[in-house]
Amino acid sequence: MSANPYDQVPYHCQPIEWTAPERLALCSLLHGGPAPDLQQYRVLELGCGDGANLLPLAYYRPQAEFIGIDGAATHIDTALGRLKQLDPCNLQYHHCDFQQAESRLDGRFDFIIVHGVFSWVPDVVRDALFELCASRLKDDGLLYLNYNTKPGWNIRGMVREYLLAHTRAQPSLTEKIQQARVAAGKMTRSLAEESHPYSKLLANEFQFVCDNHDSYLAHEFLTEHNHAYWRSEFMSLANHFGLHYVADADHNYSSGRTSPSLYKQIETQDLIGTNLNDTVDLVSYRQLHTPLFSKTPVGIPHPDPDILINLQVASCLQAIGPHKPHWYQHPNGYQVEAKDNGLLYALDRLLDIWPRSAPLDALLEHPHQFLDDLILLHNNGLLELRLAGSPSPQESSDFNPLNALEQQWGNYYTTANHQRVELQTHYNSVEPA
């Protein structure tokens, strides 16, 4: 059996919505960072696994070039098998270790994506990755990565230590997974009888183990390397390699949203400690952080209104009805009030064309006036700002050959704007391809 744990238990990869180039570019733009041109661009994914993220990206974006690198032969074999079935000519995979990847690449990239890798490799590989990203990223390019975050991840780290100790005697990774699942199940049931908040927190983490698929257990809880970082510590590391923080790629998703009032509250109540961001992570129980970096330091972290005016907007907010005039509801149940008649009219027009978008200046007579409100709604996930040139999402009934394959291997399909739509929710019934 191969020594590579990803060959022993392949990772069950999935498309990550906010890694779509147009979403990364928009996120950067909204925070005053660079936004690569979407007419033609190059994307590199390091640790691309079985290609579940790259394949839909490439399939819907024929104008761009995509390259994936991964060190697990099983992953690359799966990725190549899937590629053959669809054959987009703008996607290539290379089987190689990150430490040898430099010589396998040509040129620089507008976007580099590294999801689920930085915390899970030894320090020497992490530094090689940073060097590779810094040398291969264009000056106005964007690097996306994520890592396990302290101090919130420490709770998961405690569970990991317990499971590692509990499964040490098992001879194979597969047996360790089975043993870990049994142990986590017993612990969850035992803690369920306790009412103390600590027991509830811990029970929640053990339940998380039970609910996840085998490959997640193997590579999050039973892996040799899993290093969580304080945000300030990780930012210093990135700065050392000439990379500058732009924004959180998932700032407008529930996983990454932080209330601006939390920052103010921590400051005014004199709670900062050594670092404001670290303290925000502490009080918001953040376990994973998804920063976006560029080689150019961000000047003023605000968007340029003259660029924003060229954005498109898509919305499925629906008027509640005559009993609550001016109020709109999102399918998630959240309600917002729109005070201006022009905005009311625009929201009604947008609902008619959802999920397609319309240019801001075609929708509103004085779009500048509404930029702050629209950004607020976007940041709260209530409507979508989009960059011109973003792929137009298809209607849910438009199943294409990619979707048919995704349904076979993972019970989901990916839309053109990189949303993963789940067809079945139980992970345990999904086996890696």
Given the rule CB under 6 A, which residues bind ligand SAM? 6, 11, 13-14, 47, 49, 70-72, 75, 97-98, 115-117, 120-121, 125, 219
Residue 142 vs 360, nearer CB to ligand SAM: 142
Measured from the CB atom, is 355 or 410 closer to ligand SAM? 410
Distance CA 15, CA 17 (A): 6
Nearer to ligand SAM, 15 or 303 (CB): 15
* The total number of residues written for the chain in this structure: 433
Selection from 59, 48, 60, 64 nearest residue 14 by Cα: 48
- Smallest gap from residue 296 Cβ to ligand SAM (A): 26
Nearest distance from residue 338's CB to ligand SAM, in Å? Answer: 38
> Which residues does 204 contact at the CB level (< 8 Å), separation at least 6?
none
Nearer CB in complex with ligand SAM: 223/379: 223
Q: How far is CA 430 from CA 291, 409, 424, in A?
A: 29, 8, 9
CA dist 66 and 109 (Å) reads: 9
Which one, 44 or 72, has the nearer CB to ligand SAM?
A: 72
Instruction: Tell the smallest beta-carbon distance from residue 103 to ligand SAM (Å).
Output: 14
Whether the CB-CB separation of 143 and 114 falls below 8 Å is answered with yes
Tokens of 41: 């661009």
**CB of residue 367 vs ligand SAM: minimum separation in angstroms?**
37
Identity of the residue, 59 or 370, whose beta carbon is nearer to ligand SAM in the bound complex: 59
Query: What's the closest the beta carbon of residue 390 comes to ligand SAM, in angstroms?
Result: 22
> What are residue 245's DSSP bridge partners?
293
CB of 382 to ligand SAM, least distance (A): 27
Least distance between ligand SAM and beta carbon 133 (Å)? 13
Q: Are 41 and 5 in contact (CB under 8 A)?
A: no
Which 8-state DSSP code applies to residue 67?
E
Least separation in angstroms between residue 24's CB and ligand SAM is: 15
Measured distance CA(166)–CA(331) in Å, rounded: 44
- Alpha-carbon 21 to chain mean position: 12
Q: Pick between residue 6 and residue 234 the one whose CB is nearest to ligand SAM.
A: 6
Nearer to ligand SAM, 115 or 295 (CB): 115
Residues 14, 212: Cα–Cα separation, whole Å: 13
CB of 377 to ligand SAM, least distance (A): 29
**For residue 414, what are its two tokens?**
């990916």
> How far is residue 383's CA from residue 372's CA, in Å, rounded to a whole number?
13
Decide whether 26 or 117 has the Cβ nearer to ligand SAM.
117
Phi, psi angle pair for 384, to nearest 5°: -120, 120
> Which residue has its beta carbon closest to ligand SAM?
71
Choice between 73 and 201, CB closer to ligand SAM: 73
**Gap between the Cα atoms of 126 and 120, Å rounded:** 9
Residue 98 beta carbon to ligand SAM: minimum distance, rounded to whole angstroms: 4
Rounded to a whole number of angstroms, the minimum distance from the CB of residue 53 to ligand SAM is 6
The DSSP annotation for 402-420 comes to: HHHHHHHHHSEEE-TT--E
Residue 304 has a CB neighbour count (10 Å cut-off) of 11
Nearer to ligand SAM, 145 or 364 (CB): 145
Closest CA to 351 of 307, 328, 318, 391: 318
**DSSP state letters, 320-389:** --TTSTTEEE-TTS-EEE---HHHHHHHHHHHHHTTS-EEHHHH-SSGGGGHHHHHHHHHTTSSEEE-TT
